[in-house]
Amino acid sequence: MTSTKVLEVKDLKTYFFTSRGVVKAVDGVSFELAEGETLGLVGESGCGKTITCQSVLRLVPAPAGRIVGGEIILEGENLLSKKEKEMAHIRGYKVSMILQDPMASLNPVLTIGAQVAEPIRIHQRLATRSVWEKVKEMLRLVRIPSPEVRMKEYPHQMSGGMRQRVVGAIMLSCQPRLLIADEPTTSLDVTIQAQYLKLLKELQAQQKFALIVVTHDLGIVAKICDRVAVMYAGKIVENGDVRDIFYHPAHPYTQALLGSLPKIFEREEQLMTIEGQPPELHALPQGCSFAPRCSVAQDLCRREYPPLSVLKEGHLVHCWLCASGKG
């Protein structure tokens, strides 16, 4: 691999200390991301996808939440050893994040232009005129029609798809190295979603940023991701190339997730289901957390957490079935 590594997360642990006990929201997560690469972080609600991303930006809700272990290395520098002031310069400059609901991430009382200008002004020290030039350029980049007019408007004057594109303009205005998109299209319609994902990919091809897409929609993953990390109960259970995951899923949870997805151009009577509910994170079962819902669980699974098995270069899985000498 000749491409440069942008992000490396090693054994990240983010715990929440609550009155009901310690919630291990992220428990030993590791992954890597190269320049221009797209990672899909998949899992059900409450599996720790969002907390993983918040940890990368060091925005975990304090005081309950704390990063208790691991390393987050962005271009050779460990973000966990940075001071808060240094982090403030990294957020929005080197790492940006797009949130699910564009209405909630835009300020309703500021114009679009002022909001796109903010990160440019803070991080790039440009003269006022060049700031506005840059704003116009960014809005044009995300295909906002007539940016000169639109930049004087307020978020409520725009449609959902356009607002999400404005958020994209804000996040990309400083050419970040890493963009985290947390469920970027959940609130958008089908055709607008397709437009937005296409735009995101085009911008990635131009600016070469690494992209993390957090989603529960495997369709989005199939469409835009190069690599996939499947999370369950705070841990990455399987990590691999998008084709390996879709065509040769190794973990029973990944297999079940794929089987429970209705296929648009096929006809099937029954969908595969996963019995039961995801576990409560403050009372995780011993051993593999998926074991209680797993159809092929053995005694060993209920006793010990499975080690990491490497199926092939870049395809990693935590499952006793794949552990050497077992399967």
Partner 1 sequence: MNDILVEVKDVKRYFPVNRGVIFLKRLGYIKAVDGLSFTIGKGETFGLVGESGCGKTTTAKLLLLLEKITGGTISFDGQDISKLSGSELKAYRSSVQAVFQDPYSSLSPRMRLGNIIAEPIIESKSLPQKAVKDRIAEVLNVVGLRHDAHELYPHELSGGQRQRVAVARALASNPKLIVLDEPVSALDVSIRAQIMNLLHDIQRKMGVTYLLIAHDLAVVKHMSKTIGVMYLGKMVEFAGSDELYFHPLHPYTQALLSAAMPSHPDDKREEIVLPGEVSTPFNPPPGCRLQSRCFNAKPICTAAEPELKEVSPGHFVSCHLY
Q: Is 44 in the site for partner 1 (CB under 8 A)?
A: yes
Task: Select the span of 48-56, 114-122, 219-227, 295-303 touching partner 1 (CB under 8 A).
Answer: 219-227
The minimum distance between CB 102 and partner 1, in angstroms, equals 14
Q: Is 159 in the site for partner 1 (CB under 8 A)?
A: yes
Which one among 137, 246, 282, 311 touches partner 1, defined by CB under 8 A?
246
Which one among 142, 179, 257, 321 touches partner 1, defined by CB under 8 A?
257
Q: Is 229 in the site for partner 1 (CB under 8 A)?
A: no
Which one among 99, 211, 213, 220 touches partner 1, defined by CB under 8 A?
220
Q: Is 157 in the site for partner 1 (CB under 8 A)?
A: no
Tokens linked to 69: 């272990």
Angstrom distance (rounded) from CA 67 to CA 58:
8
Sole residue written with tokens 């054994």 = 11
Angstrom distance (rounded) from CA 276 to CA 175:
44
The minimum distance between CB 197 and partner 1, in angstroms, equals 9
Bridge partners of 69? 13
Q: Report the residue number, 63 or 262, with the smaller CB distance to partner 1.
A: 262
Q: Is 264 in the site for partner 1 (CB under 8 A)?
A: yes
Q: Report the residue number, 72 or 281, with the smaller CB distance to partner 1.
A: 281
Mapped onto helix, strand or coil, the DSSP state of residue 199 is: helix
Q: Report the residue number, 2 or 191, with the smaller CB distance to partner 1.
A: 191
Angstrom distance (rounded) from CA 230 to CA 43:
6
Q: Report the residue number, 55 or 193, with the smaller CB distance to partner 1.
A: 193
* Residue 87 one-letter amino acid: M
Angstrom distance (rounded) from CA 230 to CA 208:
24
Which one among 89, 263, 303, 312 touches partner 1, defined by CB under 8 A?
263
Which string of x and - marks every residue 160-179 that binds partner 1 (by CB under 8 A)?
A: -xx-----------------
Angstrom distance (rounded) from CA 214 to CA 211:
10
Which one among 59, 68, 192, 311 touches partner 1, defined by CB under 8 A?
192
**Cα 248 vs. chain centroid, distance in angstroms?**
22
Is residue 2 within 8 A of residue 64, CB to CB? The reply is: no
Q: Report the residue number, 104 or 127, with the smaller CB distance to partner 1.
A: 104
Contacts of 212 (CB under 8 A, 6+ apart): 7, 33, 38, 39, 41, 53, 56, 178, 179, 180, 181
DSSP 314: T
10 Å Cβ neighbour count for 105?
18
The minimum distance between CB 179 and partner 1, in angstroms, equals 20
Q: How far is residue 260 from each of residues 226, 239, 253, 257, measured CA to CA in Å?
A: 22, 19, 10, 5
Give the footprint of partner 1 on this chain (CB under 8 A): 44-45, 159, 161-162, 189-195, 198, 216-220, 222-223, 242-243, 246-247, 256-257, 259-274, 277-278
